[in-house]
Amino acid sequence: MPITKSAKKAAKRSLVFQKRNNEFKLRMKMAIKKFLKSIDKSEKLWQEDLNKVYKFIDKCTKVGVIKKNTAARKKSRVAKAFAKQSA
């Protein structure tokens, strides 16, 4: 348990950031999952759909939820699946 006033504030702030980070991460994961499932169902996807997934990944990187290399890896895997579907 935090004792000092600043420690109490830091603990409260930590919970706020944790909640925000989890929301961003969940949105990103759901967007990726939805995109990959639609590829598995052989639905026709367009570049705009890929851009939406990129947008979620970039937003998570900008906010600081995931690191730059993690974002690049996720984008690469999604793009690879998209290219495979397009071919």
Average pLDDT over residues 20-37: 96
Length of the chain: 87
The span from the CA of 61 to the CA of 57, in Å, is 6
Structural contact between residues 39 and 85, judged by C-beta atoms closer than 8 angstroms: yes
For residue 51, being part of any structural domain is answered with yes
Question: How does pLDDT run across 33-76, given as a tens digit for each residue?
Answer: 999 999 988 888 888 999 999 999 999 999 999 999 999 999 99
Domain that holds residue 70: 31-87
For residue 80, being part of any structural domain is answered with yes
For residue 63, being part of any structural domain is answered with yes
Q: How many domains does the chain have?
A: 1
pLDDT at 86 over 80: no
Q: Is the pTM higher than 0.85?
A: yes
